[in-house]
Amino acid sequence: MNESVTEETPFVNEDDQYHNASDDPFWFETTWWSFNVPERGIGGWLHAGRNTNKGTVTWRVFAWDPSGADLGRLAYYKSQEQIPIDPSVDLRDIQFPEGGFSIKMLKPLMDYHIGYSDSNANFSIEFEHRSVHSPHRFTPGEAPALHNPHLDQLGHLTGEIVLHGERIPIDCYSVRDRTWGPRGGHHSQSQKAEHVRGEFKARNPGGPAWREIERQRGRGRIDYIFGHTDAHTGFLGFVRVQDGDAKGWSPMNVGWLLKDGVFERLDKTKSKMRSYRDPKTGWNTHMEVELVDRTGRSMEAEGFAVSHMCEHGSGANSLMRWEYDGKIGWGEDQDGWKLDHFRQMLGALRATSRH
């Protein structure tokens, strides 16, 4: 990690491009765009991850709604994995190979045009993401990005999705992000002795069994939540479930509170979230969030999952309806698990007796 880079170091125009900064075979760079249509319970992603030194890219485009969460019932889903990609591509003006989505930078670090079409499925999406603030850098050394540069950026999205031939307007506030650096392989494996031995203990034991299992350390759990009403009100943050207490409250670290049009970083010692899960699916259905920023401003938010998307058979991405400060906001819960950990938690959540 470059020790001179701090959370206040601004991104530069070159960060709209790919970073060929290392010969590490696990160097990986992402671009992610989210959108929603609240009136229809639709959430969606366009995501591409480039394995720079392997010369490949994997892209995915999907949209989900209340009609179904698994891949066979999603409103739309398509992915192409490990496709060769020209090493000279420019991320500021690109269409990913084999029918992938396109990105056109309109204003450096701020405004972009996104497009995708699949005529065989009578599906397309096109929108402009007009950012409402400069890219927000995660604090170096803080989980989950740790030493890889990561940016999040709220935007006002306007455009259209065509779903099963129906034209549906997009007019929402949602988030894009970018990350680059080594990922996968030994970079994703904890070297702590207890984790190498397969011992995953909760820091704060007690409480319902399923919550204690969820708090097991060394499992790679990630929970990322956000919700916004407009360019003036909302929040975003990562939840450190591994550091939660027996009552289910988990601290939030990197992220922001947006209030009265002003972004401030979260106070990770005072911001927290508690979730409630459906015992049939194991997915988050309801959340309470208490947010405090570093200047002392606060917000209480309550969210309900409107629709889910389960890509890997464990946790889910959820379209969330939030209420805070007398307003309604929309966003996501990204609830990431390893499959064996999720199955253990779900077993405890479904248990009919304890011995």
Residues 63 and 148 in one domain: yes
Residues 177 and 211 in one domain: no
Q: Is the dihedral of CA 152, 156, 162, 163 positive or negative?
A: positive
Output 303 or 186, whichever has higher pLDDT.
Answer: 303
Total domains, the chain: 2
- The answer, yes or no, to whether residue 270 has pLDDT greater than 60, is yes
pLDDT on residue 354: 76
- The answer, yes or no, to whether residue 272 has pLDDT greater than 90, is yes
Residues 166 and 124 in one domain: yes
Q: What distance lies between CA 226 and its chain's CA centroid?
A: 9
The domain that holds 268 is classified in CATH as 2.40.370
Residues 175 and 215 in one domain: no
Choose the final residue of a domain: 121, 151, 182. Answer: 182
Contacts of 243 (CB under 8 A, 6+ apart): 203, 215, 250, 251
Residue 94, in any domain of the structure: yes
- Mean residue pLDDT across the chain: 95
Residue 213 backbone dihedrals phi, psi, to 5 degrees: -65, -40
pLDDT on residue 146: 82
pLDDT on residue 188: 64
> What is d(CA 239, CA 219) in angstroms, rounded to the nearest whole number?
14
pLDDT on residue 143: 84
**Mean pLDDT of the region 247-264:** 97
Residue 188, in any domain of the structure: no
CA distances to 70, 154, 175, 225, 352 from 231, rounded to whole Å, are 32, 8, 12, 17, 46
DSSP 295-327: TS-EEEEEEEEEEEE-SSSSS-EEEEEEEETTE
Choose the final residue of a domain: 182, 216, 243. Answer: 182
pLDDT on residue 258: 98
Tell me the pTM. Answer: 0.95
Choose the final residue of a domain: 147, 182, 217. Answer: 182
Residue 13, in any domain of the structure: no
Residue 14, in any domain of the structure: no
pLDDT on residue 198: 75
Which residue bears the tokens 């591509």? Answer: 89
For residue 283, give its domain range: 203-350
Contacts of 153 (CB under 8 A, 6+ apart): 131, 133, 134, 135, 136, 175, 176, 177
> What is d(CA 70, CA 64) in angstroms, rounded to the nearest whole number?
9
Residues 57 and 170 in one domain: yes
Residues 111 and 258 in one domain: no
pLDDT in tens, 126-150: 999 999 999 999 988 888 888 899 9
- The answer, yes or no, to whether residue 187 has pLDDT greater than 80, is no
Output 197 or 218, whichever has higher pLDDT.
Answer: 218
CA distances to 204, 279, 293, 324 from 288, rounded to whole Å, are 20, 18, 17, 10
The domain that holds 146 is classified in CATH as 2.40.370.10
Residues 248 and 324 in one domain: yes
> What is d(CA 162, CA 166) in angstroms, rounded to the nearest whole number?
5
Residue 187, in any domain of the structure: no
